[in-house]
Amino acid sequence: MFIFQWLNDQLLRMQWLSDLVTSLVQNVFGLNTQERLGGSIQFFIYDVIKIFILLSVLIFIISYIQSFFPPERTRKILGNLNGITANILGALLGTITPFCSCSSIPLFIGFTSAGLPIGVTFSFLISSPLVDLASILLLASIFNWKIAFAYVVVGLVLAVVGGTIIGKSKLEDQVEPFVYSNKVVEVAQEDLTIPDRLGFAKDQVIDIVKRVWLYILIGVAIGALIHNWIPEDIISAVLGEDKWYSVLIATLVGVPMYADIFGTLPIAEALVSKGAGLGTVLSFMMAVTALSLPSLIMLKRVVKTKLLAVFFFIVVIGILIIGYGFNAFSYLLI
C-alpha cells in the first residue's frame, strides 16, 4: 500500500515537480508561495508542466492502442453487433479515441453513412469527448482513484443510456440525407509495423498538443485565479454542494464554452479546493466537453432540429442527475 501511494504521489501527482517549482518560485523569483502572487505562479507553472507531461505520455499510449482500431475496423466490429451490446461497445470504443466533441463528429458521420444504427453512433459521440483512458489518470492525479473511476463509469453509463434512448426513438429520418448518401470505400487494412504504430502515436501527440495547448494554458490560468484570488466563501455560496442550484448553474455555464477535459481539469481542481461541490465541478466538465456550443453547431449540420434537441435534452438531464448524485454521495469518494 505504501509503495502504491508513493508511486501515485511521485509519478501521477508529481509531488517532486511541485516541490521543485515551489523552490524555483521562492528562491529564484523571491516570492512566497503562501501569498497570492507566488501561489498563482506556482500553481500555473506546476499544473502546466504536469498536464503536458501526462498528456503527452497518455496520448502516445492511447494512440498506439488506437492504431489497432482504425475507423474501418471499428465499423466492422460494431456492425456485427446489435442492441445494447452494440451501444456498450460503441461507448467503450469512444474511450480509445482522444478527440474533442468537434473532432468526433466526422467519425460519427462515417459510422452513420456506413449503416450503423444511430443509437450506437450517438453512444460513441457522447463517450468520445467525455471519457477516455487519459481522463482516468488525469482525474486521479488531481483528485483520487475513486473519483476517477466513478467519473468514467457514469460517463459510460450516460453514453450507453443516451444512445439506447435515441436508438429506440426511431429518429433515423432526422439525420440529414447527405449523410446516408456518402459512399464508404472498403479499404484493406494493411498490417502496420511497430515503427509505423510508434510513428502514428508520435504524430497524434503532436497533433493533439497543437490543438489543445491554448485551452490548457487558459484553463490553468483560470484555475490559478480561482485558487488564489477568489475568496472561498464566494465559491461556496454559489457552487457549494449544499446549494440546490449549483449543478444547474455549472451545467448552463459549461455549455457555451469550448474545451476538452485537459483544459477543464485545472478549473475543477481549483473549484473543489475552494469548496465547490464535487458533482458541481464534474457537471461543469461534462457540459464543456460533451455539449460545447461549437460542437452543437457542427452537429446541427448533419442532424435535424428534433434529433439535436433530443440529444441535448438527454445529455443535459444525464449530467444533472450525475452532478446531484456526486454531490449527495461525495463523502464516499473523498
pTM over 0.85: no
Number of domains in the chain: 1
Question: How would DSSP label each residue in 247-313?
Answer: HHHHHHHHTT----HHHHHHHHHHHHHTT--HHHHHHHHHHHHHS-HHHHHHHHTTB-HHHHHHHHH
Q: Over the stretch 4-23, which tens digit does the pLDDT of each residue have?
A: 677 677 777 788 899 999 99
| Residue whose C-alpha cell is 464516499 | 332
Give the model's pLDDT for residue 183: 52
Q: Which residue has the higher pLDDT, 9 or 251?
A: 251
* Res. 68: pLDDT tops 60: yes
Tell me how far apart the alpha carbons of residues 51 and 220 are, in angstroms, rounded to a whole number.
Answer: 9
- Look at 73-77, 281-285, 316-320 and tell me which has the smallest mean pLDDT: 73-77
Question: How would DSSP label each residue in 91-152?
Answer: HHHHTT----HHHHHHHHHHHHHTT--HHHHHHHHHHHHH--HHHHHHHHHHS-HHHHHHHH
Give the model's pLDDT for residue 324: 93
Give the model's pLDDT for residue 97: 64
Range of the domain at 192: 2-332
Question: Nearest Cα to 125, choosing from 330, 302, 326, 323?
Answer: 302
Give the model's pLDDT for residue 295: 76
* Res. 188: pLDDT tops 70: no
For residue 6, give the DSSP letter.
H
- Look at 100-104, 176-180, 272-276 and tell me which has the smallest mean pLDDT: 100-104
Give the model's pLDDT for residue 187: 44
Q: Over the stretch 213-232, which tens digit does the pLDDT of each residue have?
A: 888 888 889 888 888 888 87
Mean pLDDT throughout 270-298? 84
Tell me how far apart the alpha carbons of residues 124 and 107 are, in angstroms, rounded to a whole number.
Answer: 9
Q: Which residue has the higher pLDDT, 328 or 94?
A: 328
Give the model's pLDDT for residue 1: 58
